[in-house]
Every structure is written in structure tokens, then in C-alpha cells.
Amino acid sequence: MGFSIIFKLIILVLISCWVLEIVDGYYLPGSFPNRYYVGDQLSVKVNSLTSIDTEIPYGYYTLPFCKPSEGIKDSAENLGELLMGDRIENSPYRFNMFKNESEIFLCKTNPLSSNEFKMLKKRIDEMYQVNLNLDNLPAIRYMEKDGFFLRWNGFPVGARVQDSYYAFNHLKFTIFVHRYEHNNVAGVIGTTDGDELITPANETTTNEGYVVVGFEVVPCSVNHDEKLLKNIKPYSKYPSQIKCDPLSVGMNVKEGKPVIYTYDVSFVMSDIKWVSRWDTYLKMEGAKVHWFSILNSLMVITFLAGIVLVIFLRTIRRDLAHYEELDKEAQAHMNEELSGWKLVVSDVFRSPNNPEFLCIMVADGCRILAMAIALIFFAALGFMSPASRGTLINGMLVFYVLLGFLAGYIAVWLWRTLSIGERQGWFSVSLRVACYFPGLSFLILTLINSLLWGSDSTGAIPFTTFLVLILLWFGISVPLTLIGGFVATKAPYLEYPVRTNQIPREVPAQRFPSWILVLGAGTLPFGTLFIELFFIMSSIWLGRVYYVFGFLFVVLILLVMVCAEVSLVVTYMHLCVEDWRWWWKSFFASGTVAFYIFLYSINYLVFDLKSLSGPVSAMLYLGYSLFMVIAVMLATGAVGFLTSFFFVHRLFSSVKID
């Protein structure tokens, strides 16, 4: 019977994964379609310069690029964009719909100063990429290598050949467009990017319009003749033919010498529909590897479920059934011959060390886990599309703040259970829950931000954004947590089924330290997620788009199941050797998966981010990794503790021992 349940569970998980993968393929855009008519102006926007060599973003106009004639203007930004380091600004590039132009002169910079020359060389050495956006689509470039086409977002600032530096000063833009269709844009929900005119989907008109469905760029380094630019104004045709060869370089950057920028633009009709235009960006290789990760997790769950079934069906149920069949005299005689977990019946619910801190960590973990489940679920449905920059971070903040009520309730409920109904101290517990993990996060974020501020990076959070975060913390999160704690004081707590002796029972000496078992238990939860962890790390640090949230949601559910089973087994093994100090061990039995994630992060830094340069970049990486590890430890530890707590309560509720 037990194995049939496991089989049904496996089938259910596989079906859920398949359904979520279908949902994952459905793209719910994050912006309205902008309809353009022939001759309408298209505006290109610029984003921060980024590099996988330093992981420190910088503003586009920190380098000597052409500036717009109307001045530099920031586009509308949300909180998520600011936290991610995005800085969207206008650019001097101007296109007209379906007007192909070639050899357009953009500008000639002033002669490079010593500082500008050094900065440009440094950004080239650090492999910084220029990021452009058109109609909310990032510019992409394709490169053929060993018979494969590689896709990159943006293009390099320049290239270094031996001791010489060359700038990519000529850009060939290709804009793919599709005819505007009412059927493909009806009912789309979202916001626009910028201030372009929005045409409602139900508008009736006989005029033909187009939507942008692709934006490609080919960078070239061309040695322009400065003498030909005496009487040429911006956006005029360059007087000489420009030969653009991506494999050769010509614009040698030198101090005291200006840089001349030009561009080409061509429009191409495409069969790609507007609702599918992000498919190229969201396409992620390695679907078979993701399925392997799911199957690997299912094997671990099946193995642990078998152990749990043996514990429940063959050991505990058999012992309890045999015990209940005896009469009172036989039970009294048997009580003198008890062994294993039955011997700790009077100590198993003895209050653990630092009970208030345990309540705080479990409550924070439940909050983080609930936030992750809600966030990934909505992302799997398409509501956290990369087309709407910053929505994932915004969703994370909203869910975390609103779930403060849950954290306060769980913390005070658990505190009352451990203190046998005591209501005093609930305010202190609630307040500490509201400040513990957010306080650690704020401390880490402040240290990281100080490094970014010192580097003049756009990744540094502005002071006003810090004030907004503090307002969310103390204005919404803290009150909700206190309200949750107050409600828990009125709710019934869980009463212990057996009494606890005043004198604690001595724990027998063990051959091996019990923490070895606890530390080793974390390898099983880590085994369920380490494959998916590689894709997540590559998305964060190598600039790859991660959008297989359907797989991630299933992996998260499997991780929760493995953590629960691992903690249950470890707790039972401790009770069998008469060790009643199971509270913290049940928390860390599953929470130690964070230790292995941190080791994996170090391994990823050494072997996959070998090009990461500078102590600031390494400190940023370690800071964000530490933040992730703490969050994972709290979430997985909460799952393990609560599973073990209810298991122990149910187990000793069945034992009739006075």
C-alpha cells in the first residue's frame, strides 16, 4: 500500500512538471505592443555596461560615447531595476520605421583625455558589454564558432590586439518587424517601456502598422578619416563607403585622438509574432539535464520514503500495536524493560537550548519558503517575465513583506508551545522575527553597497532607495509581524502528550559525535538541487537568462519533501540511541544543505568564474552567496524541524506511559 502511494506521487510530480513546462512555454508579456507606422521614429535606449569579468555595472555615459542632443534623461525605473543595477537612459540613435539607412554619421567625440583613455582601455580589458534596448528588446549579436551560433546580449566596448586597443565605433542594426495583428495582442496585461504611443488592441483602423519583434546588432571597428567630417552634421551620410568586417579591427584608440561613431540600420519583415518575440532570449538549452535533475530527485525521495515506511509500518506501528494488546499489569512490567526511543518519553519534550532563537529561525524560514513557493509559482505562470525588468525582485519584496504576518504567527505559536502556553514575551519574539533576517540582509546589503559606492558603480543602491526599503521594513513588515504574533496569543497552542521530568536523563555516550550524522544528512537535499543550482548560478553571474521556472518549481517541491524525510529519519535515529536533544539537530539535519551550497559556490568561483578579477568582485560574489546560503538554511531548516516536531508529537501521543 505504501509503495503504491509513492508510485502515485511520482506520477503526479511528473505530470505537474509536464504541465508547468507547457505553462513555462507560454509567454505572458510584460508590456503592451507598440504599433509603429511607416516613418515613425524609434528610440534606442541604453542600459548599464556589464561584465562577467568584474560583475560590477557602470553607467553607459561613463565612457566617451555619443550623447543625445536633448541631453541625458533617465527612463522610468522601478525598485527592482534599481536593486538589479539597471540604469535605463536615452541614446542618440534614431531610427524611422522601414527606412533603411547606411553609413550614418553619429558624432565625433572630443579628443580623449588621459583619464578617458585609461578608462576606455580598462573597460576593454575587463570585457565590458554595451547593452542597448529597442522597444523593450535587448540588442543581441550572433557569433559563429566551431559550426555553432552563439548568442550574446549586447556587444563589447572594444577589443585588444597585442598592446593596441580598438573601439567598436560602427554598428550595423537589423530590426525585425511583423505586421500588427489585433488577434495576437488582445488582452495583454502589463506596462509600457518608455513614452511611446500605445494603441489599444480593440482599435479599429484600416491603416497598416508594424510591431518590433527582433533587434540584432553587429559591431565593427572602422578607421574613419577625420578630414572628411569638416562640414558634416550628425545623422548625415558619411562621405565615404564604410566596410564593416566584424573579424577585423581598425579604430585604434589613442590619447588625444577623437573617436568617430557611425551606424547602419535595416528593417526586415519576420514571421515571428509579437507574443513570441522573447522566445529567442528565453530559450534555454539543457532540457534533458533538467529532466535528469527531476528524476534524480525522485530517486532520492523514493529511497528516503522507503526508509520512512520501514520506520512507520514495521517498527513503530508494530511496537505500538504489541504494547496496546497487553493488559495493565503486563504494561507495568514492560515499562521496566523499555529500550530505544521509549526510554526518553519523559525528556523528549524538554525545552531546547535558546528556545526563543529557535522559534525565530523557524518562523523566518517558513516566511522565506512561502515567499519562494509563491514567487516561483507565479513566475512559472509567466507573471514574472523578463520583458518587465525588475518584476522578479519586486515580487520577492512584496511577498516577503506581506508574509510578515505568517512569520509572527508561527514564531509566537511555537514559543507558546515550547513554554507550555506562556503568553508573556510574545512581543519580544515577534519583534526579533521582524528584525532578524531583514537585519542580516540589510547588513550584508550595506557592506556590498559600500563597495559598489566606492567603485562608482550603477549597481550601488541610491540613498532614496535605501529609505524606501527601510520604510517597507518598519512601515509594513514589522507591523504585520507584530499583528501575526498578537493573533497567535489568542490561538490554541499544541499541548505535549506526556509530562517532562524535572531532572534530565543522562544521554548515553555515543561512538561517533551525533553532529557527523547531522552534517552528512545535508548531502541528500543537496543532491536534489545541485544540477538546477548550476543553471541558476550561470544566470546570475554569467549573464544567461533563466526562465525555466516550471522545472524550478518542481525541484523546490521535491527539495521540501527530501528535507522533511531526511530530518524525520535523523530525528528517529537520535531517539533510538536515547538522545532526546533532537530540537536543533532536526533543524540542521536539513538546514546543512546550505553548507554544501556554500562549498559549491566556492567551487563555482574557482572553476567557473576564473576570470573574475579584483578583490571587490570577489567580495561581491561572496556577499551575495552568503545571503543566499542564510536564506536556504532557514527555509530548509524550518521544514526539517516542523516535520520532526509533529512526528515526535504524534509518536509519543500513541504511547501510554505514566
pLDDT confidence of 342, banded at 50, 70, 90? confident
Mean pLDDT, all residues of the chain:
83
> CA 575 to CA 347: how far, in whole Å?
10
Q: What is the DSSP letter of 108?
A: E
CA 533 to chain centre: 10
Cell (9 digits) for 93: 540613435
pLDDT of residue 425: 85
Mean pLDDT computed over 592-618: 88
Q: Name the pairing type of β-strands 148-153 and 140-145.
A: antiparallel
| Residue type for position 261 | Y
* 295, pLDDT greater than 90: no
Residue 158's Cβ-count burial label (10 Å; 0-12, 13-18, 19+) is buried
Q: Name the pairing type of β-strands 41-46 and 101-108.
A: unpaired
Q: What is the pLDDT of residues 432-460, one digit of tens each?
A: 999 999 999 999 999 999 999 988 898 88
Mean pLDDT computed over 505-531: 85
Q: What is the DSSP letter of 190?
A: -
Mean pLDDT computed over 30-45: 84
> CA 518 to CA 596: how far, in whole Å?
13
Residue 462 Cα distances to 82, 93, 374, 447, 456, angstroms = 8, 28, 28, 14, 11
* 313, pLDDT greater than 90: no
Rounded to two decimals, the pTM is 0.85
**Residue 137, by phi and psi: left (phi above 0), alpha (psi -120 to 50) or beta?**
beta
Q: What is the pLDDT of residues 629-650, one digit of tens each?
A: 999 999 999 999 999 999 999 8
SS3 363: helix
pLDDT of residue 408: 96
CA triple 403-282-266, angle to 5 deg: 135
* 336, pLDDT greater than 60: no
